[in-house]
Each structure stands twice: as structure tokens, then as C-alpha cells.
Structure 1
Amino acid sequence: MYSPMTEYLKMVSTRLGTTGIPVKFKLPDAKVKEPFYVIGPHTGNDSPSAKFGPAIIDTSLQIDLYYPIDSRTALEEAVFKTKIALNKRIDHQILIDNSIGREVYHVVFRINDYIY
């Protein structure tokens, strides 16, 4: 039996995998070419839980998509596929980034969810 957060992360990883874009849990070496997702940090608040009984966690999870800079329309399609795969309300921001040693699109997704 896994913790609710572990199960949640596994579910997110599996759903993202349906897009065909590789999923990582930490930023890979600069030799790894994009596109790829990085399932990043999360915050959690278990105050919605009863004192005794099942845990309820109000969480916010960050997912980063690094995508080649050569096609904005291909990027928009990847953003759309991500939202369909996760089937959740998602905030996202598209940036141009060179933190991985080359200029890429960097999309920061934020999912807010309750985990039971």
C-alpha cells in the first residue's frame, strides 16, 4: 500500500505518458533532448482532514514541459494534449528558457487538487 501522494504522482505520470512525451521526476542531464516533462515540487495541506479517519490533502503540483523552440504550433498541441491527458483544471504559463543549456519553450503547469 502506498501513500495517497505516491498514488497521485503515479497516476499523473501514467496519464502524462499517454501523450508520448517522456516523463521525469528530476531535470535530466543537458544531453537529454526535449520534449520531456518534469514532475516537480508540490505543496500539501492536510487541514481538510478529520482528526481521525481518511486523509484529505489539498495539494498543488508543478509539472514542467520542456519543448523544442522550433514550432509554437507544435507546442500548443502538446499543451492541449497535456490538459486532455490530465483531465483536470490546470493553470499554465509558457516561457522561453535557456536554463538547460539551450533555448527551449518551458511550460509550467500547476494542478490544484484534493487527494483522498
Structure 2
Amino acid sequence: MTFSPSTLHLNSIKTRLDPLGIPTYFYLPDSSVLEPFLVIGTNSSDTTKTAQTGLLIEDTTVSIDIFLPNNSRTNAEDIKSKAIRLLGRNKLTANVLMDNSIGREVYHISITLTEAIL
């Protein structure tokens, strides 16, 4: 079976983040799943760099959300730093915030990653 470049890219992000040791999902699990967990979520593509002929070049933007217990801001900052380094030198933004969107207050690391794929 041949997978699309986007599918391969999403799987490569999961592989790069595996050393964090945090369970990874490609959808937001229900509220019975406790932290820590990581969600590789929505992605969008921009193909404006593609020439009229030749390879398709996609700038793919992926949302990555890491949910952690709210007991240590230091741990949240440490996980954010590790995730940034595991993702490599790409265009990304990362924020740590308190969030209760999953039904309880947690640290939420929100990462937006943009990479070019061929």
C-alpha cells in the first residue's frame, strides 16, 4: 500500500516525538483519557510554491497539542523545550497555557509546525 506524502509526514512527526514517552493520538480522546497525552491534529497544505510542471511542493501546517497535569509549570516548560528540539529546525510556534477545554484544568502546550514536503 502506498501512502500519501501527507500521511507519511504525520507519521514522521509522531516518530520524532516518540522519545517524549507520551501517548500519541491523531484525534482528541474523550475525557476519560488522563494526561499526559499528545494530539497530532489538524493539518493544512499550501501549494503556492509548486511550479507549473515538476514536483508538487506542499507547505504543510500541523497542530500539535500536548496535555499535561496541572501540577508543574516547570515540567510543562521542559516538555515544550524537548518537543521543539525533537521536531527540529522548522518554522514553529509553541505556547504553554492553562486550559480546561477537555473538562479539567491542565497545562496545554500548543505547537504549530510548518514544513515543506515533496
TM-score of the superposed pair, with normalisation by structure 1 = 0.93
The whole-number CA distance in structure 2 between the counterparts of 1:43 and 1:18 is 25
2:98 maps to 1:76: no
CA contact (8 A) 2:61 2:114 kept: yes
Identity %: 41
1:115 maps to which residue? 117
- DSSP-derived class of the 1:31 partner: coil
The whole-number CA distance in structure 1 between the counterparts of 2:67 and 2:13 is 17
Deviation by residue 1:22-63 (Cα, 9 ceiling, x = unmatched): 110011111111111111112211121122222100121110
2:112 maps to 1:93: no
The whole-number CA distance in structure 2 between the counterparts of 1:59 and 1:39 is 13
- Map 1:22-41 to 2 at 5 A: 22-41=23-42
Deviation by residue 1:52-85 (Cα, 9 ceiling, x = unmatched): 2221001211101111100011111111111121
2:5 maps to 1:4: yes
2:48 maps to 1:64: no
CA contact (8 A) 2:76 2:96 kept: no
The whole-number CA distance in structure 2 between the counterparts of 1:14 and 1:65 is 15
Q: What amino acid sits opposite 1:96 in the alignment? A: M
CA contact (8 A) 1:88 1:111 kept: no
Deviation by residue 1:85-107 (Cα, 9 ceiling, x = unmatched): 11133211111111111100111
The whole-number CA distance in structure 2 between the counterparts of 1:58 and 1:15 is 19
Q: Bigger shift: 56-65 or 43-52?
A: 43-52
Q: Which 4+ stretches in 1 moved above 3 angstroms?
A: none
Q: Unpaired segments of 5 or more residues in structure 2?
A: none
Q: What amino acid sits opposite 2:3 in the alignment? A: Y
- DSSP-derived class of the 2:20 partner: coil
